[in-house]
Homo-oligomer: A and B are copies of this chain.
Amino acid sequence: MTIKEDVKKMKSAAPFLAASTIDDRNSALKLIAQALKENSEKIFAANKLDTDKAEADNISQAVMKRLKFNEGKLEDCIKGIEQLISLPDPIGHTTLSRDLDEGLSLYRVTCPIGVIGVIFEARPDALIQISTLCIKSGNCAILKGGKETSNTNRELFDIIHEAVIKAGLPEDSLLLAQSHAEIDELLECHSYVDLLIPRGSNAFVQYIMNNTKIPVMGHADGICHIYVDTDADRDKAIKVIIDAKTQYTAVCNAVETLLVNREIASDFLPILAKALKEHGVKIRGTREVSDMIEAETIGDDGFIEYLDLIVSVKLVDNVDEAIGHINRFGSHHTDSIITENKETAERFMQMVDSASVYCNCSTRFADGFRYGFGAEVGVSTGKIHARGPVGLEGLVTYKYKLYGNGHIVDDYASGRKQFHFRDK
């Protein structure tokens, strides 16, 4: 059996999952939480196989931290599921209710997207978060995790899948893709898959985007900016920059480029350089910057995503030049201004064309958990459909339902009848 055949079966099951009640879906989530608790030893044993292999392969400590699935992480996951159960049903909401004419009623009702493929990094908690978000929103999910956690993923998937079936939801609601080759097969399934959410490296996400007809939601790179304005509080600026650059460097919402107003550069750059040095951050800057502080000189092509303890610095004349730079060189992910001037802040918040725009806070806040969405399936830098951190709301679409009594268009086209459009 190829994955294509599995996905085809899933497509047929999708309307049944979409038609399930919120009670069925919540009871599946409860059964999942319970089964995860009851089978914790089996999960940890499977995870040990993965971490032993990783250790033998000399995998870095940072990655190892992600692979490891322990009591603490399991508890966090179960808390997350409980939070998800408490959230209202995202599907079946009537968002428009309008009489077009006597006896002809139009409704717009939210419904699941259908079949969603999520390709995610080697992090066991990701499998739990994504599958439960999809179940809550009535979407079938094809899950493909990183190979470094394949034993843990298989164990987690089996536990979750069994609970879903036990709750009376369709068997084909969830599918685990195991081999990397299956990704290419999945990319061909545009007749059956409604949405792909790839998470991972820039190159990987680009590959997915360029090789499928399926709509893709996510982000390739995260080139986030902080602009330090003339009216910035210097202490806040330094505190926010250090957090945005060093709190976790390997993530898409870490800052990569600092734009500093030229007027304050001679005062601010030395303080900035000192603080960055203390935190082990190397500076790359334009010629002007490297003339003022210790920095490697870069050109216009130097404003890249480092995911490391490196940051680019450039001087700008004013907020408009900062906005222009961000809109041109940024990745429309998350950008922040540091200023005490409300007018300047508003101009930045209005004109920067990014999913998240911030004032006086760290770019690292761009995250579904920190926005209070419970969890996220990914962060979208696209503007079509969901933007920014994507939780339950990004996993639904809607359909129009029209109820008539033998109504035909010719009556209206000929002028025999008129629409009256009354919202209810």
Q: Which residues of A contact B (CB under 8 A)?
A: 11-12, 14-16, 18-19, 98, 100, 104, 106, 113-114, 194-195, 209-210, 213, 215, 217, 233, 235-236, 239-240, 242-244, 247-248, 323-324, 327, 345, 349-362, 364-366, 370-372, 382-385, 387-389, 397-410, 412-413, 419, 421
Contacts and interface: CB of A to CB of B under 8 A. Distances in A.
Contacts of A366: 400
A387 B398 contact: yes
A101 to B, nearest CB: 10
Contacts of A383: 113-114, 194-195, 397
A408 B240 contact: yes
A215 B382 contact: yes
The 5 closest A-B pairs by CB, nearest first: A361-B404, A243-B408, A236-B406, A364-B409, A372-B421
A195 B383 CA distance: 9
A362 B407 contact: yes
Given A356-B402, A360-B404, A404-B360, A365 B409 contact: yes
A354 to B, nearest CB: 7
B408 A362 contact: yes
A15 B372 contact: no
Contacts of A213: 209-210
Given A11-B327, A19-B350, A387-B397, 20 more contacts: A15-B351, A100-B372, A113-B383, A194-B384, A210-B213, A235-B406, A236-B406, A247-B413, A248-B409, A356-B402, A359-B404, A360-B405, A361-B407, A364-B408, A365-B409, A370-B409, A383-B397, A384-B397, A387-B399, A387-B400
Given A12-B324, A327-B15, A409-B364, A400 B388 contact: yes
A187 to B, nearest CB: 14
B357 A399 contact: yes
A402 B349 CA distance: 9
Contacts of A100: 365, 370-372
